[in-house]
């Protein structure tokens, strides 16, 4: 089925790059692995990562969860945090950094205490995602809130939507961005009536315009 | 009450929030009875046979027979693995989110039974990192299932074991590709692997691995409980069963609707999703997520919504996610938005995808900025042709298919947009390209 079926295998004389068939293996040079006593790892972080490692048949599988733990502890994947995780996992810091830099949700640069991701992909864009992103950027200007546009978050039913501190809200009007940021900074519940988790199944809402009216008020703004 | 055109099987009882708890799952839909029967009284081959007879096709995108896939795994004592692909990241798709949030135990029961069919002793749910709330729901449900003895060592005293780990990704569309998912699960950057060997032979940690989508696995308990004929009462000969379809974009009631496959696409869009917004009309749809070639409204509306009908129309059912573009949507801008997504998500491992997505974005940007000529449209088409079939995985094709279809079917609109944007631009004056204006991600 795959277009590259047999490439490499079709000519046994060609060397096959093992990194292509098996994935790249991390550097295991023991010289580069920091010792635990060198890194001053908080005991609870160390325990957390050790628990995570024990869940998998091979410890390296815990690298993404370990980086999540580092990010939770320090707000982002700090170089020190990465060294600490590397010391616990017995892998090189470079390896963990290579993993962290691949994924959009792991931050290798400082970000704010709160994080807002606004979807700007197809369905949200059709219903005003770009305007919503602008509104959030304006509302969060100068605050300790990190705002970014993001690829499809898997909530096109509540378009345009935003993910605020890892919880989904929508459909949102640009005017609600300011309310949301205000609530976030004052510690109140953010837009409780717009929370995805409280929404009924689409087929159970037979009120006209049950989508929240975003499409009507937001003027699609497609072009 | 759901609409009469909906057929709620996987979403049965989903309006009740208690369904997400183990007790609720048992009370409302008689959950875990099939797991008990399968673990106590059924052999591996029996489970496999009922899955194969049902004709259940994978709900993640490729539509391959689930039973057949499971039967590819070799027999023997080596460690085998089952991965549930919950990295739903295709623009337009949000059905797995609904299934996991509302009925996590159905998925866990399906995984346990599928693991029996595959002979796997270790299972993983790879859920995208963005679905934090859903991962919390799964964590709680898995803990309950361990507590009740449906997972772990010596399940229900049958000497069968199954460990299940919920593994959160960290934001990368490519991890939905099965071999990239394996790399990510092994703790690496999520790069796809060359196939063959296929995961059924050499997958996670080098062992035979069965990888299935959330919705596919959620279908398993009922199929094993009620048999293939029961399952085939819905759908068509080649697309049996029901499908949770995500409808979004320019419709009045976007959301997930579970239908019997083969329902007319018109009913799906106009009856269930409420049709286009007031005063607008449907121009085109992506019938199966952003990677499916777009169909014009005329092409799409009379087609039955099934794997075979979409394939015959030159598109695909994919993950079952319909994005509706209404008459207000500019197709060239939609093509650019689509291409940007794949450019952003390309892992960069193979050249046709890395370079192809990059140059497609640049050319489409020239189109909407008015710096292109009609010849550029031919170049765009030719680049798409050269991407298709030449990449390590299907990410490159996923951009090439919809973009090529848009250029082919809406060429006039591309030319109009180009001409309109070019007005007032003096071709003899070189200007610096404007900074990003279209709000691309990051």
Residue A121 has its nearest CB partner, among B14, B184, B337, at: B337
Residue B196 has its nearest CB partner, among A9, A123, A208, at: A9
The whole-number pLDDT of residue B424 equals 78
CA separation for the pair B105, B123 (Å, rounded) = 15
Cβ contacts of residue A194 below 8 Å, gap of 6+? Answer: A158, A169, A170, A171, A172, A176, A212
Contact B257 A55 (CB under 8 A): no
Contact B277 A216 (CB under 8 A): yes
What does the pLDDT look like over B106-128, one tens digit per residue? 999 999 999 999 999 999 999 99
Contact B58, B66 (CB under 8 A): yes
Contact A40, A33 (CB under 8 A): no
CA separation for the pair B332, B411 (Å, rounded) = 9
Shortest CA gap A98–chain B (Å):
7
Nearest 5 degrees, angle CA B361-CA B337-CA B99?
A: 130
Residues of B in contact with A9 (CB under 8 A): 196
Contact B35, B117 (CB under 8 A): no
CA separation for the pair A55, B146 (Å, rounded) = 14
The whole-number pLDDT of residue B365 equals 95
Looking at the DSSP bridge assignments, the partners of residue A146 are A115
Residue A22 has its nearest CB partner, among B193, B196, B257, at: B193
What φ, ψ does residue B95 adopt, rounded to 5°?
Answer: -75, -35
DSSP alpha helix (H) spans, A25-104: 36-39, 43-54, 63-74, 79-89, 93-100
Residue A149 has its nearest CB partner, among B170, B345, B441, at: B441
Cβ-Cβ contacts under 8 Å between A and B: the total is 255
Q: Which two tokens stand for residue B129?
A: 């990192």
Residue in B199, B182, B291 with CA at minimum distance from that of residue A152: B291
- Of residues B22 and B424, the one with the higher pLDDT is B22
The whole-number pLDDT of residue A7 equals 45
Q: What's the Cα-to-Cα distance from B254 to each of A78, A123, A211, A213, rounded to whole Å?
A: 40, 10, 7, 11
Q: Which two tokens stand for residue B345?
A: 């998500």
CA separation for the pair A124, A156 (Å, rounded) = 6
Nearest CA in chain A to B253: A211
- The single-letter DSSP state of residue B322 is E
What does the pLDDT look like over B241-270, one tens digit per residue? 999 999 999 999 999 999 999 999 999 999
| Sole residue written with tokens 């042709």 | B385
For residue B136, give the 3-state DSSP assignment. helix
Torsion angle of C-alpha atoms A53, A58, A63, A68, degrees rounded to 10: -40
Q: What's the Cα-to-Cα distance from B115 to each of B41, B64, B137, B139, B198, rounded to whole Å?
A: 15, 18, 21, 19, 18
Shortest CA gap A87–chain B (Å):
16
Residue B250 has its nearest CB partner, among A104, A149, A215, at: A215
Shortest CA gap A95–chain B (Å):
8
Residue A157 has its nearest CB partner, among B189, B196, B246, at: B246
**Continuous segment of H or E residues that includes residue B384:** helix B374-387
Contact B141, B22 (CB under 8 A): yes
CA separation for the pair B258, B11 (Å, rounded) = 7
Residues of A in contact with B271 (CB under 8 A): none
Q: Which two tokens stand for residue B328?
A: 């207000």
CA separation for the pair A90, A70 (Å, rounded) = 15
Question: Digits of tens for pLDDT over chain A (223 positions)?
Answer: 344 444 444 556 666 666 665 555 656 788 889 999 999 999 999 999 999 999 999 999 999 999 999 999 999 999 999 999 999 999 999 999 999 999 999 999 999 899 999 999 999 999 999 999 999 999 999 999 999 999 999 999 999 999 999 999 999 999 999 999 999 999 999 999 999 999 999 988 754 444 444 444 344 343 3
Max Cα-Cα span within chain B:
81
Nearest CA in chain A to B190: A102
Residue A105 has its nearest CB partner, among B130, B248, B392, at: B130
Shortest CA gap A37–chain B (Å):
24
Nearest CA in chain B to A171: B254
What ipTM score was computed for the predicted complex, to two decimals? 0.93
Residues of A in contact with B130 (CB under 8 A): 105, 117, 153-154, 163, 166
**Continuous segment of H or E residues that includes residue B419:** helix B411-422
Residue in B250, B320, B322 with CA at minimum distance from that of residue B280: B250
Contact B248, A157 (CB under 8 A): yes
Nearest CA in chain A to B123: A56
Share of chain B above pLDDT 70, in %: 97
Nearest CA in chain A to B86: A154
Residues of A in contact with B397 (CB under 8 A): 3
Nearest CA in chain A to B121: A57
Give burial (CB, 10 Å; 0-12/13-18/19+) of B358. middle
Give me the DSSP letters along B237-284: SSSBSEEEEEEEES-SS-EEEEEETT-BHHIIIIIIS--SPTT--EEE
What does the pLDDT look like over B368-378, one tens digit per residue? 999 998 899 99
Residue B440 scores a pLDDT above 80: no
Contact A151 B89 (CB under 8 A): yes
CA separation for the pair A34, A32 (Å, rounded) = 6
Buried b (16+ CB within 10 A) or exposed e, B313-324: bebbbbbbbbbb
Cβ contacts of residue B326 below 8 Å, gap of 6+? Answer: A126, A220, B249, B250, B276, B277, B280, B281, B282, B283
Residue B441 scores a pLDDT above 60: no
Residue in A116, A112, A114 with CA at minimum distance from that of residue A169: A116
Contact B328 A130 (CB under 8 A): no
């Amino acid at each position: 089925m795959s277009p590259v079926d047999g490439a490499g295998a079709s000519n046994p004389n060609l060397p096959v790059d093992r990194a292509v068939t098996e994935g790249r293996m991390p550097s295991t040079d023991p010289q580069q692995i920091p010792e635990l006593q060198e890194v001053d790892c908080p005991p609870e972080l160390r325990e957390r990562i050790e628990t995570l490692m024990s869940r998998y048949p091979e410890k390296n599988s815990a690298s993404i969860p370990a980086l999540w733990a580092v990010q939770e502890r320090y707000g982002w994947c700090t170089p020190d945090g990465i060294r600490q995780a590397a010391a616990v996992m017995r892998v090189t810091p470079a390896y963990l950094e290579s993993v962290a830099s691949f994924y959009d949700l792991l931050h290798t640069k400082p970000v704010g205490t709160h994080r807002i991701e606004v979807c700007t992909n197809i369905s949200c864009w059709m219903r005003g995602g770009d305007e919503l992103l602008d509104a959030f950027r304006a509302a969060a200007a100068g605050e300790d809130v990190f705002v970014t546009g993001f690829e499809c978050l898997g909530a096109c039913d509540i378009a345009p939507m935003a993910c605020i501190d890892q919880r989904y809200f929508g459909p949102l009007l640009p005017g609600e961005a300011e309310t949301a940021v205000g609530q976030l900074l004052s510690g109140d519940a953010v837009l409780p009536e717009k929370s995805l988790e409280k929404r009924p199944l689409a087929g159970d809402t037979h009120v006209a315009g049950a989508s929240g009216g975003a499409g009507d008020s937001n003027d699609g703004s497609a072009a | 009450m759901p609409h009469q055109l909906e057929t709620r099987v996987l979403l049965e009882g989903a309006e009740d929030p208690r369904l997400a708890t183990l007790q609720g799952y048992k009370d409302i839909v008689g959950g875990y009875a099939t797991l008990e029967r399968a673990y106590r009284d059924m052999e591996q081959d029996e489970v496999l046979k009922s899955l194969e007879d049902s004709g259940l096709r994978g709900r993640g995108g490729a539509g391959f027979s689930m039973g057949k896939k499971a039967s590819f795994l070799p027999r023997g004592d080596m460690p085998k693995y089952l991965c549930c692909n919950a990295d739903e990241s295709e623009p337009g798709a949000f059905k797995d989110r609904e299934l996991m949030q509302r009925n996590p135990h159905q998925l866990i029961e399906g995984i346990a039974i599928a693991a029996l069919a595959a002979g796997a002793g270790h299972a993983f749910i790879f859920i995208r990192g963005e679905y934090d709330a859903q991962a919390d729901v799964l964590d709680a449900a898995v803990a309950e299932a361990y507590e009740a003895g449906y997972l772990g060592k010596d399940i229900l005293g049958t000497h069968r074991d199954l460990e299940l780990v919920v593994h959160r990704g960290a934001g990368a569309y490519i991890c939905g590709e099965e071999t990239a998912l394996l790399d990510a699960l092994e703790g690496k950057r999520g790069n796809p692997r060359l196939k063959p060997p296929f995961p059924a032979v050499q997958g996670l940690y080098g062992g035979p691995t069965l990888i299935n989508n959330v919705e596919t696995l959620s279908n398993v308990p009922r199929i094993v409980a009620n048999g293939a004929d029961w399952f085939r009462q819905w759908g068509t000969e080649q697309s049996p069963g029901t499908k949770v379809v995500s409808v979004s974009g320019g419709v009045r009631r976007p959301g997930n609707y579970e239908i019997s496959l083969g329902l007319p696409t018109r009913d799906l869009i106009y009856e269930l999703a409420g049709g286009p917004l007031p005063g607008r009309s449907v121009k085109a749809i992506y019938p199966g997520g952003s990677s499916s070639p777009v169909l014009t409204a005329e092409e799409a509306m009379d087609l039955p919504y099934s794997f075979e009908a979409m394939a015959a129309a030159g598109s695909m059912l994919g993950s079952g996610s319909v994005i509706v573009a209404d008459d207000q949507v500019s197709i060239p801008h939609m093509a650019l938005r689509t291409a940007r997504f794949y450019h952003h998500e390309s892992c960069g491992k193979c050249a046709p995808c890395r370079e192809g997505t990059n140059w497609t974005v640049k050319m489409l940007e020239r189109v909407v900025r008015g710096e292109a000529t009609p010849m550029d449209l031919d170049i765009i088409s030719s680049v798409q042709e050269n991407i298709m079939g030449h990449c390590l995985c299907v990410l490159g094709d996923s951009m090439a298919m919809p973009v090529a279809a848009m250029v082919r079917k809406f060429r006039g609109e591309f030319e109009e947009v180009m001409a309109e944007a070019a007005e007032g631009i003096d071709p003899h004056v070189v200007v610096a390209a404007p900074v990003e204006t279209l709000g691309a991600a990051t």
